[in-house]
Amino acid sequence: MRVAIISNRVTMDYRANQKKILDLALESIRKGAELILFPEAAATGLVNSGDASADLMVAEPVPGPRNDEWSKFATENNVYFAAGLLERDDTYIFDSAVLYNPDGDLVLHYRRNDPGWHMPTDNPHVYREGTEIPTAETDFGEVSFLICGDLWNDDVFLKLKRRNPDWLLYPFARGFDITHDIESVWNAELVCYRDRWRESGATVLAANSFCEDPRHASVGGAWYTDRTGRLLASSLILQESVLLVDM
């Protein structure tokens, strides 16, 4: 099975981001991908500001305009499609991720459990978290999501380990408040990520968002580790990338 782990460049032009997501996905299909993974909040970036009225306009329902296009893409190309998004559910906002199967069905819908995606002072009646770690049975095994800070939340991580999925899809958006030597800083931090991925006991596909806007910066990159935490493939950070791996 060929997998495309994609770190797309995120700008403040959400329509352009969505078009680029679909273009990169199509490019991956042409190279034989059967499963495609995009990062956390792939079409918008983590642009939540704490202004609920503004953030509710950015977030989208499930089903919604952008994720409907992801579902349609999965159907038309007979592929699994996974990506993160800022989700609106009535007056609530979640940091979520979705997985569509080749029939376009939503087979896994996850809401980040860890609250670190928003400020502690944000309105708790608007900015919300999930409480469960759902799994989905697919053609390639049992799959779960974690999103970004979930990985470092011991309670959330324990729930994941109890589910014991075959595959962990890990969209995230990691950046640094520095302007130099970012690669060295990330390479040192990657050791900690790999240790945690190994502890999960799952095969991990990780996609980090690439955003150059200093307000929402993230450094990009994609990684594939086996159940022992061995790094099998990765892409460069600080650029848009498509990592193709054969399982």
Whether residue 29 is predicted with pLDDT greater than 80 in this model: the reply is yes
Q: What percent of the chain is predicted at pLDDT more than 90?
A: 97
30 confidence band (pLDDT: 50, 70, 90): very high
Q: How many domains does the chain contain in total?
A: 1
DSSP 60: B
Whether residue 178 is predicted with pLDDT greater than 80 in this model: the reply is no
Q: E strands, the chain, where?
A: 2-7, 35-37, 80-89, 92-100, 106-111, 135-138, 141-145, 167-172, 203-208, 210-211, 218-219, 222-225, 231-234, 241-246
Whether residue 179 is predicted with pLDDT greater than 80 in this model: the reply is no
Q: Give the pLDDT mean for 121-144.
A: 97
CATH number of the domain at 78, please.
3.60.110.10
What is the model's pLDDT at position 1? 94
What is the model's pLDDT at position 138? 97
What is the model's pLDDT at position 150? 98
Placement of tokens 């991908």 in the chain: 33
Which tens digits make up the pLDDT trace of 69-126? 999 999 999 999 999 999 999 999 999 999 999 999 999 999 999 999 999 999 999 9
Which tens digits make up the pLDDT trace of 147-169? 999 999 999 999 999 999 999 99
Residue ranges in the chain assigned as alpha helix (H): 14-30, 52-58, 65-77, 154-163, 182-200
Give 213's strand partners. none
Determine the structural domain holding residue 121 and report its residue range: 2-246
